[in-house]
Amino acid sequence: MTLLYMASVLVTPDSGVSAWLALAAGAAFLDRLAEWFIGQPAFKTEVAVLAFGNAFAGAGFLVLGATRLGLDLPPVAGLHMLSVGALGCAVMAVLIIAGLRHTGRDLLDLPWQAHGAALLIAAAAFVRVLPEIAFASGLAPLLWSLPTGR
């Protein structure tokens, strides 16, 4: 769905087809999320941050599709959900999991920095798409940069 959406935006950028494909891609991501872990494993940080990535991807595509169909929201909100939210959470999950595995540690006891980084990335993505909060434009980059130290 994602590839079809991207192809339709490139070939026919003003077509309503891309709006419906974006909605379908969003529904597909949310369907994947509905089949996610149940019970105790869902509350593990490395699993939750992956779930947040899927949730942001689904919401981002839904917002993109809805704005193309006339919803009065800036389309950049959907793009921020996809980039800061979905991509940020997915990359942070990989950094947490691969970082611990490559240093010989297991995932049973994550360091506090991993929990904090995952929380800050998800919070930065959430704050970034709240245009009605006046200070969100400064708070989002701050939350984004704290986990990386840059």
Token readout for 107 is 């995932």
Per-residue model confidence (pLDDT) at position 136: 62
Token readout for 117 is 């980084």
pLDDT digits (tens, 9 = 90+) for 109-145: 788 888 888 899 988 888 888 764 455 667 777 777 7
Per-residue model confidence (pLDDT) at position 53: 92
Find all residues with CB under 8 Å of 92, minimum gap 6, and list them: 49, 117, 118, 121, 147
C-alpha angle 127/65/94, rounded to 5°? 50
Per-residue model confidence (pLDDT) at position 43: 80
Residue 135: enclosing H or E segment and its boundaries? none
The DSSP secondary-structure symbol of 109 reads: S
Per-residue model confidence (pLDDT) at position 137: 65
Rounded Cα gap, residues 47 and 131, in angstroms: 28
Rounded Cα gap, residues 129 and 150, in angstroms: 22
Residues of the chain with pLDDT under 50: 132-133
Spell out the domain ranges in the chain.
2-145
